[in-house]
Each structure stands twice: as C-alpha cells, then as structure tokens.
Amino acid sequence: MKENTWFDPFFIFENLSEEDKLIQKNVKQFCDTELRPNVVKYNHDHIFDKELYKEFGNLGILGSTIKNYGGAGASNTAYGLINYEIEKVDSSYRSSISVQSSLVIHPIYEFGSEEQKNNYLPDLISGKTIGCFGLTESEAGSDPSSMKTTYKTTKDGFILNGSKNWITNSPIADVFIIWALNEKHENNSVKGFILHKGMKGLSTQSIENKTSLKISPTGQIIIDKVFVNNSSCLQNTQGWSSVFSCLNKARYGISWGVLGSATECWLIAKEYVENRIMFKKPLAANQLIQKNLADMQTEINLGLSSCLLTANAMNNNKNIINAISILKRNNCKKSIDIVRDCRDMLGANGLIEEYHIMRHLVNLETVKTYEGAENIHSLILGKNQTGIASF
C-alpha cells in the first residue's frame, strides 16, 4: 500500500531541494532543544534572552538569504521554512528573526553604502548586535506617511526629532533603522537612518503590559534632537518603495510563519482528540471533529502551496506585491480560525498554558495587526485591482 500522505498531501516538504530540507531539519532540531523547553515559562514571565541572537547567528538564520557579510546565501524558500519552523514554537521568536533579517539587515544590504554594510552587517548576521525598525508612531500606524518624525539637514549631517511606538526589539537594540520625513513633512522626502544605542538624545521605553507576543520585547523610541552625520543616512533609498521593500520581505516570512503556528496547534489538537474519550469513544471518532481536522489540513496545505509558489516567484525576481498581500491577509486569517478551533477541540484543557494553543491564539492577534492589518491588505488588493485607492 502507498504511504499515507495526510500531512504533506501536495509533497511540499518531500520535494524541497536537499539544501532547503537540511536547513529545515536543523532549525527544527534547534527549536526542539533550545526554544520549546522554556517557551511556556518565558512567555508567562515575559522573558527574552538576548544571547539567543548569537545562537540564531550560529545557526545561520539571520539575514539567511544574503550571500556575503557572513550570510548563508539560502533560498527564499529556506527563509520561509525558517519562519515556519520557528513560529511553530512562538510568534515572538519568529518576530526576532523577521525584524533582524527583513527589516534591519535587508535595508542596510539593499540601500546602504559599502562602508555601512561592512560596519553593520557582519555583526547583525552573526547575532552579535540586535536591530530594530522604527516606522510606526502613536498616530501613524496603518498610515505611516502621516509620521511626525523629521530630519533637518545641517552642514555635516542631520538632526532627527520625533518618536516611534510599538517597535519590536527597541528596548534591547544596538542598531536602530529610523524612517523620517523632512521638516516640511513632504511625503516623498522619506529617508532611512541608521542610529545606534548610546547616541545623545536617543532613548527607549519598554511596553510592559502586552498580553500578546509576550516573549518579544516591544517599546517606544524617543528621538530627541539626535544628530547623525551624513554617513548614517541610507543613501540609496528611493522613497516609500524602499520602505515597502522591507515590509514585503517581512510579510512574506510572516505568511509562512503563521502557518507554523496553525500546524503546531492542528497537530496538538489531532493528538488530543485521538486520545480523549468522550461518550465512550475517542473525540476523533466523531464526524464533526474529523471535519475540523480536514478543514485545518486543507487550509494549511493550500496556504503552504501558495507560499511555495511565491518563493519560486521571488527566486525568479518576479513582482510579488499582490501575492504578498493575499498571503499575509489570508494566512493570518485562516491561522487564527484554525487555532481558535483547536482551542475549542481541547475544551477546558485548551485554556491551559502547557497545551500552547491559547498562547498561539493571542500571538496571532498581533501578527494579524502588524505588517499591515487585515483591512489594509484588503485595501492594497482592492487598489491594485481597480486602480482606485480607498485610503
């Protein structure tokens, strides 16, 4: 009889390249030995161990698609698989990788000078330094173009003024990518700057009362007349499309990542209903429960299939803007639905920390919101279909 292919019906994992398979295997192993054992405690106590970045660096999963400066030169598929495996443990850990790789290493690599690349990339890729990406402000979330942070051009550089809010890693960061407009707030004047910890006027404040993504440190950045010289500006940015190129990368990783959360919870729920006896038979023997499992298997595998198609398109330098919004919006939505159903299938036990599901569920509320909330991706897709911007 042929092998039962219920877990990988489209042979996504079976058909990966040998290199991608090896990367996935190594990351999975790292997750099992280094991340899973403490995840419940660290989430409960809001603990993030900064030293973890060095372990990520050793594993080659920071800036993994970059070929030099210490990068592993992995494929976009491998980057997706890394996100998928890490988010099976917790969205916070995936966020750590996404921010460092897509939002800090990527802009320096794409838009920085050779000097900036040599100065920053080796340490960011090895995990010796930690980065953050400051775009959002208290009054500029979905619409970052309404930001109030500005730069003033001076004889030797720039003076930056303003604040950022809800910034992953800001309380522990060494390197800060900060986006700002000119003093007239002209939309097309947006520029990126590299700041670093200890600069006069730069400080951070932790957001302590977060109920979601509790392992990941999040905070504000206060930029009080910070002077930076010309060499701190990302010279090769081209307006908003450069900002969005960072978001494209992060959104792509998230699209794989959330399916990791969904897969983890699906397998926990599957095992639970196979063993839980109610009405004198396993819960899994009921048609309604099997329908849930079939729905989960279907949505996860359809999601993964489109992630893989998008990875191939990226490997071939295609325009993936629409694919990314479809994936970010749909995979988050489907993953939340799946995880909520998993919670339900465990009944009261689904509420217990040790079963992991509630943690994934509340984490996905963040993931649905950041990197373009669900409505925003609907509006991007609507705009691209009709040519009419509704925002």
Assess 142 for contact with ligand TGC (CB under 6 A).
yes
239's contact among ligand FAD, ligand TGC, none, with CB below 5 to 8 A by partner kind, is ligand TGC
Furthest-apart CA pair in the chain: how many Å? 80
CB 258 within 8 A of CB 87: yes
Q: Is 371 a catalytic residue?
A: yes
Q: Supply the minimum distance, in Å, between the C-beta of residue 124 and ligand FAD.
A: 15
Helix residue spans in the chain (DSSP H): 18-30, 39-44, 52-59, 76-89, 91-98, 106-111, 114-126, 240-275, 287-315, 321-345, 357-369, 374-386
What residue ranges bind ligand FAD (CB under 6 A)? 99, 132-136, 141-142, 166-168, 213, 218, 366, 369-370, 373-376, 391
Nearest to 236 by CA among 131, 102, 114, 68: 114
CB 186 within 8 A of CB 165: no
CB 282 within 8 A of CB 232: no
110's contact among ligand FAD, ligand TGC, none, with CB below 5 to 8 A by partner kind, is none
The binder of ligand TGC chosen from 59, 135, 190, 273 (CB under 6 A):
135
Tokens linked to 276: 């839980």
Assess 250 for contact with ligand TGC (CB under 6 A).
yes
Q: Supply the minimum distance, in Å, between the C-beta of residue 173 and ligand TGC.
A: 13
339's contact among ligand FAD, ligand TGC, none, with CB below 5 to 8 A by partner kind, is none
Q: Supply the minimum distance, in Å, between the C-beta of residue 169 and ligand FAD.
A: 7
250's contact among ligand TGC, ligand FAD, none, with CB below 5 to 8 A by partner kind, is ligand TGC
User: Which residue is catalytic, options 87, 137, 299, 371?
Assistant: 371
Q: What residues from 267 to 326 belong to the interface with ligand TGC (CB under 6 A)?
A: 321
Q: What residues from 216 to 245 belong to the interface with ligand TGC (CB under 6 A)?
A: 239-241, 244-245
Cβ proximity to ligand FAD: between 218 and 237 the closer is 218
What letter represents residue 345's amino acid?
Answer: M
Sort strands 157-168 and 150-153 into parallel, antiparallel or unpaired. antiparallel
The structure tokens 């897969």 sit at 263
Cβ proximity to ligand TGC: between 160 and 177 the closer is 177
Cβ proximity to ligand TGC: between 199 and 373 the closer is 373
Cβ proximity to ligand TGC: between 30 and 370 the closer is 370
Q: Supply the minimum distance, in Å, between the C-beta of residue 323 and ligand FAD.
A: 20
Q: What are phi and psi for residue 340, nearest 5 degrees? A: -65, -40
CB 167 within 8 A of CB 178: no
Q: Supply the minimum distance, in Å, between the C-beta of residue 360 and ligand FAD.
A: 15
Sort strands 218-229 and 131-134 into parallel, antiparallel or unpaired. unpaired
Return the DSSP state at 3.
P
Distance CA 127, CA 62 (A): 7
Q: Supply the minimum distance, in Å, between the C-beta of residue 243 and ligand TGC.
A: 7
CB 180 within 8 A of CB 196: no
What are the respective helix, strand and coil percentages of the chain, to the nearest 5? Answer: 55, 15, 30
Q: How many CB atoms lie within 10 A of CB 239?
A: 12
Give the residue numbers marked as catalytic. Answer: 371
Residues that bind ligand TGC (CB under 6 A): 95, 98-99, 133, 135-136, 142-145, 168, 239-241, 244-245, 247-248, 250, 321, 370-372, 376, 380, 391
